[in-house]
Structure 1
Amino acid sequence: MKEDYYDYLFKIVLIGDSGVGKSNLLSRFTRDEFNLESKSTIGVEFATKSIELKNNKIIKAQIWDTAGQERYRAITSAYYRGAVGALLVYDITKKNSFENIEKWLKELRDNADSNIVILLVGNKSDLKHLRVINDNDATQFAKKEKLAFIETSALEATNVELAFHQLLNEIYNVRQKKQATKNEDNLTIQPRGKKINVLRKKVLKKINTYFIKTIYNTF
């Protein structure tokens, strides 16, 4: 697959608290790399990767890794604009990271397009022995907010590809449905024609005929 060729370009944002593993999810998906000593993202970083859908359409994902620290949130909020998809990430071993998901979700919905596709991601599933967030709690939250949900491990590469592919496929499906609806709306819009009052036309014809006969008889 040629990286410079694609049918669609989708902007994706990774959001969530600092330290939940957003940068490693990005590097695992785009470069198949994992860094145990990964430092906190400063501001915004991004990478790209193309995938091929079952219908042979090429999707190029432009993935933005936003900093989770409070002091950078005013900067990163501007980067939500134009995003069509988001991975909302928390750490299954950190209670605060899950509790803050609602705050991140609100910020996302306040700044991004109303049709943005969001996938809730519980990262670090390899640390099951340290788990503090039950997957049932995450499932219930996702259901309430109408989000899809998946658990991943950037360290073990578990479900990372699946998470991004699932998100990109859903974005494509949403856009196709939106385009189909738009096309249907265009077909139902009929050009405004000239209204013809048939009865009035007949009356005017009779009046004109009367005046023509009157004028003829006068001469």
Structure 2
Amino acid sequence: FGSCCSGTRGVGKTALLRRYVAGAPGAAEPEPEPGAEAEAEPTVGVEFYSRARQLPAGPRVKLQLWDTAGQERFRCITRSFYRNVAGVLLVYDVTNRKSFEHIQDWHAEVLATQGPKVIFLLVGHKSDLQSSRCVSSQEAEELATSLGSAFIETSARNNCNVEMAFDTLTDAILQALQQGDMELGEDWGGVRLIHKAQVPSSPSRKQHAGLCQC
């Protein structure tokens, strides 16, 4: 499954991906996510991560994850990666109002490049910084509903809901395949079949609440 993280610079996309990949067996623990006092080095263009996952329904999948730069000067590069993704995490910082206000722009940009077959998940990151919060969970849930997306809040620093976020996106992609809303195609890299097997028809996982469930 090809997926990517999109969002404004500094929302913590890289920290989120590193924390998730570090959850794989044998992976090294990532460096702590910087808080309000310091910012991580911005991503230059696109960085690549991957992690294998055994789905409860039976199939084993490999998640190919792209960390796209949030800076305007890299947009021409990041747009080319949207064509080969099945899922997109739209990430904003709960302490950064502007990053939330730009989510609709990122959503529209992906749709303009990829088309309606992509699955979205709205992610409110840095939920551990409650004293600095300026975007409420209720407001984010309303935006997610308008975008036809699920919503979840995460913290890479506290490792809160990180696994759940990627599991939610992966399960939604699998459900779309089962229902025929997304099809495997030789000319599209979003979902590639490596070992030929029938996609199971098990029921989808119940949608998770947006609040941080540590």
TM over 0.5: yes
Counterpart position of 1:121: 123
Counterpart position of 1:24: 15
Give me the whole-angstrom Cα distance separating, in 1, the residues matched to 2:143 and 2:133.
17
Q: What TM-score, normalized to structure 1? A: 0.76
- 1:173 CA drift (Å): 1.0
- Contact 2:51–2:62 at 8 Å: present in 1 too? yes
- Contact 1:82–1:113 at 8 Å: present in 2 too? no
- Contact 1:84–1:113 at 8 Å: present in 2 too? no
Give me the whole-angstrom Cα distance separating, in 1, the residues matched to 2:129 and 2:48.
27
**In 2 relative to 1, CA 181–57 (structure 1 residues): closer, same or farther, beyond 3 Å?**
closer
The structure carrying a bigger helix percent of its residues is 1
Counterpart position of 1:190: none
> 5+ residue gaps in structure 2?
24-29, 185-214
Give me the whole-angstrom Cα distance separating, in 1, the residues matched to 2:5 and 2:105.
14
* Structure 1 position 14 matched with structure 2 position 5: yes
State the one-letter code of the partner of 2:4.
V
**In 2 relative to 1, CA 70–167 (structure 1 residues): closer, same or farther, beyond 3 Å?**
same
**In 2 relative to 1, CA 168–23 (structure 1 residues): closer, same or farther, beyond 3 Å?**
same
What is the 5 A alignment of 1:162-173?
Answer: 162-173=164-175
Query: How many residues of Structure 1 are paired with residues of Structure 2 in the alignment?
Result: 173
What is the 5 A alignment of 1:96-135?
Answer: 96-135=98-137
State the one-letter code of the partner of 1:69.
Q
- 1:136 CA drift (Å): 0.7
Tell me how large the CA RMSD over aligned residues is.
1.7
- 1:19 CA drift (Å): 0.2
What is the 5 A alignment of 1:202-213?
Answer: none
Question: What whole-Å deviation, never above 9, does each CA across 1:101-136 have from its counterpart, x for those lacking one?
Answer: 011110011112421110000000000110000111
**In 2 relative to 1, CA 113–128 (structure 1 residues): closer, same or farther, beyond 3 Å?**
same
Counterpart position of 1:48: 50
